[in-house]
Structure 1
Amino acid sequence: MSAIRLRLGACALGLGLGGFMAPATAVTQIPQPLTLDAALDWAGDYNPTLRAAKIRVEQLTGQAIHADVAVPSNPRLEVGAGQRSTPAGSGTDLNVQLSQAFWIAGQGRLRAAAADRELAAARDQYRYLVSATTARVRAAFLSVLVTDKAVATARRIVQANRELYDYAQRRMAAGAGTQLELNAAQLGVSRATALQARAKNRLQRARLALDELLGIDPRRRLQVKGRLDIGPLQVPDRAALLERAVRQRSDLAAAAGRVAAARQRLKLADRQIIPNLTVFGFYREENGGNGRGPNGNGATIAGGGVSFELPILHRYEGERKQAAAELDQARLEQENLRREVRLQVVRSLSDYRSARRQVKALDRAVFDAARQSVDLTRRAFQAGEVGAPAITTAQNNLIAVRTEYLSALDALIDAITDLERATGGLIAVSAGHTREGN
């Protein structure tokens, strides 16, 4: 298990995200040269998707704190005074009232429960994003390695074709060659140069994809260091993998949490028609208080009471209908996600097995054989045993094998990434198995 999953998983379980959310400006340089582990650690801090998910968890944490209150509002204090004028004289009236609203029918508990379940769902979703980001960063890192090797291979092909072209020019100048041979050699140089340009563009695109996942400025030049880690995966049978993947995918747990939260909100909407109760007490002085004022007819009054809204005009029917629809939507999304997870696992497993067979069929021995054929044909051409078409055919075979192998390797990396994401990180490239790419 990678460092990112260990470190971020703890935060996802609610051990605190505040100290983990360092701003991007706090670290000015990404480690160079960049290894896979360093890339995963960096993505854990600066990947835009993960940072947004952390912020979402913080927002819902605040909402959960706000919802977990014993009463709907703070106590309310009202103070009033007035001047009373009568034919017998004037006096002062004073009124002080203190009131407090209370939850009725468990509405406060339902609010807190809904907020807690939303927060738990966000944490589960964050955990899934951690595993998905791990897979994507690893795939982007491996793609840079693959395309970098593709550029190196294309560079060697260009060099070999230029040497052949130089030789054809010398033969032409000596009167031993033909224009057909020179044209064929020139065509080989042009095709190899175009191949190199495509390889360089693929490398640049792979680097930009990695930059995006790492959340860094694309103007930075990363020195990527590593070996292709695409050994065979230990994959159980399909039925067992499906069962384990459903248990592993924390976004399914997040979907279940959203259903539970929607259920609590529906219960709350049903109970909103029961008004909360406000209890109040008051103290009042009339004409300055007891025995004061004109003719000593002042009075002091103390008392209390309750108040509540009458649910006559507003029956909260819209709120109940909306909450019921939100629950149906959450259930539908959960059902769709559960089905999609199974489809993802089956599809990615099939893609992985197919890509693995393709890579195995186009292994290093096949690539070396195609390259050896070019060398042998070149020597035969120099000896006058074959003509220019044979050189072109051998070069075409080499380029075709190289292109097919790189395509198969890309497909394998994509399939491994999809399988890791589909299983929630249950199936991943083993850090202990490395293999040098061709």
Structure 2
Amino acid sequence: MNVRKKVAFYTLGCKLNFSETSTIARGFTEEGFDRVEFEDMADIYVINTCSVTENADKRFKTIVKKAQKVNPDAFVAAVGCYAQLKPEELAAVDGVDLVLGAKEKFKITDYLNDLSKNDFGEVHSCEIEATDFYVGAYSIGDRTRAFLKVQDGCDYKCTYCTIPLARGISRSDTLENVLQNAKEISDQGIKEIVLTGVNIGDYGKGEFGNKRHEHTFLDLVKALDAVEGIERLRISSIEPNLLKNETIDFVAQSDTFVPHFHIPLQSGSNAILKKMKRRYLKELYIDRVARIREVLPHACIGVDVIVGFPGETDEHFLETYHFLNELDISYLHVFTYSERDNTDAAAMEEVVPQKVRAKRSKMLRGLSVKKRRAFYESQLGSTRTVLFEGENKEGYIHGFTENYVKVKLPWDPGLVNTLQHVRLKEIDADGLVRFEFVKDEILL
């Protein structure tokens, strides 16, 4: 009876989910479980779910089958956003034994007294309004980069989004706790920290979302910049209306925060932005990009866009296409709109046919390739610092410059988790950048 149980994890969705999976996994380790890879034989498989797109929902069943194929007798638990939104639906999936909501997932080991297989999944899920607490988290998957959660939930009411229903109101970690987590990450030799959350620019709302504590997102950025031992800090997705000039200007003079911003746009049409209930118009977005380019000409700027939103005509789409084509940005993340239950958009008329959505998505993905190529070309000849990653991918080691240019080199384990000065030389056939070392020494 003293044999240690094995547990494996699979994460669907965003960086925030990865940070939380990692924290949940450390809880298992502290309780005496051994963590193994998801492809390995385990006693328990934990799947952290996502509900942002229809595809993420469908993938869940595939992942459950994958676990059952390795060990048909294993106990399968589902946590995360999909588990909060549709617990009964997940519980009905063949092979699922336990479904935990937003409040319960961080106490998962409390629900594992009996690991017998169930005919129907057991559900423990609170109403999202009861999610009145904050749990800090960070991920340590590879040695080069960690995702640090600083905020959770969202008070925005975008008409297409289920995240407020899945994660509750906006609330933040204390500054002291964020700094402590950052120090723990740094102490493990990790060179880069990516700040993550649902709406990180809203940092500062207290535990119950109805009051502000004394710190703002700018305070957070300044405090993290002063933490000893962190080589790189990267801001993940931040709303354009919450990305203030003061933050951009601070990043511009920081040696630690890298020149990379990911700013959701969703549409280049003001008419569609209003239907989405976004909190800005495209003119503000133009101002944000212009400010970044003014103080950080070499910055990488990524953009989220949704195509096929209800009421998006050909004219609206072309307005978005031309807006992005003319904007000095670096790449796109393109999302095809999918109807989500209990959202205002799901009840809207003027539904865009799936074939039209697919065509528009393909056009914007093509534009993204063009934009990334142009950005990479603009960086050729410049000297940058690359952080090399730890995975051998088909005989190559990859890395990213501070401004998110992806480079590659034949596999060299001595480069893993090191920072190197390089001069970017040319773009390879696969779209990645070849380079030469400026000097041989490793930057510690």
TM-score by shorter chain over 0.5:
no
Relative to its length, the structure with more strand (as a share) is 2
- TM-score of the aligned structures, taking structure 1 as reference length: 0.20
Higher helix share: 1
Bigger RCO of structures 1 and 2 (CA < 8 A, at least 6 apart): 1
